A = this chain, B = another copy of it.
Amino acid sequence: MTYCVGMMLDRGLVLMSDTRTNSGVDNISTFRKMYHWEVPGERIITVMSAGNLATTQSVISQLEDRNKAPSERHNSLLEAPTMFRVASIVGNLLQDIISERASDNGQRAAGTFSASMIVAGQIKGMEPRLFLIYPEGNFIEASFDTPFFQIGETKYGRPILIRGYDRTMSFESAIKLLTVSFDSTLKANLSVGLPLDLLVIERDKFAPLHERRIDEADPYFRSVSTSWSEALRHALDGLPNYHLD
């Protein structure tokens, strides 16, 4: 399993992903699920993935044109004219890879090889945009009605995002909110695990404002994780009391 969130703010985009993959509880590994590419001053594009690791790694490898010699590679995401076109490229590639593998392995394999992705970024002269790509290759775009997308193990960490999100919030507050959402998910589901990858993209900067790998020793993560129980108990205490009669 996996947990990734892409969030759209007035100031830009904040993205967080875990790094745990598992094939059974006795086969746990760490793999990066967040990738980004940039043309400094012109565009920055991020992809996060959930689902079958062979599928998602294949998508990333093909986006980077890795079946060619390094000098001959060109990344079509860096040449696409719009973020909509970027989302189409990723969606078509994802659907191709899933359906090719499924057709080689029978109908039941479609579920096994399935994956979904979040694509986010900005190209100069246009707004920052955020997309959720389905295994079928089609996609939806975030708006301020639905300003964040989650993929993977989404439920545990969703209520706090619903309650805590505010489009005008600072990057620091958004990172705090995401840290709590990830901590709640980590506590509830062993298939989501540290370290986490964090990327902050400021509007009209076309380069990462902040990039960080958060591991078990990370003092900020530890302090939020330990403070949150106390903060929640305090929040519960502050609610109106029930009276039995």
Contacts and interface: CB of A to CB of B under 8 A. Distances in A.
Interface of A: 155-160, 162-164, 171-173, 175-177, 179-180, 184-185, 187-188, 200, 209-210, 220, 223-224, 227-229, 231-236, 238-245
A163 B233 contact: yes
Contacts of A188: 155, 158-159, 162
A157 B233 CA distance: 15
Contact of A231 (B187, B229, B239): B239
A120 to B, nearest CB: 18
Contacts of A156: 155-156, 158-159
A244 B164 contact: no
Contacts of A155: 155-156, 188
A242 B158 contact: no
Residue of A172, A238, A240 with highest tally of chain B CB at under 10 A = A240
Contacts of A184: 159
A163 B234 CA distance: 11
Given A156-B155, A172-B243, A236 B177 contact: yes
Contacts of A233: 163-164
A227 B239 contact: yes
A242 to B, nearest CB: 4
A209 B245 CA distance: 10
A176 B242 contact: yes
A227 to B, nearest CB: 5
Given A172-B242, A172-B244, A209-B244, A187 B162 contact: yes
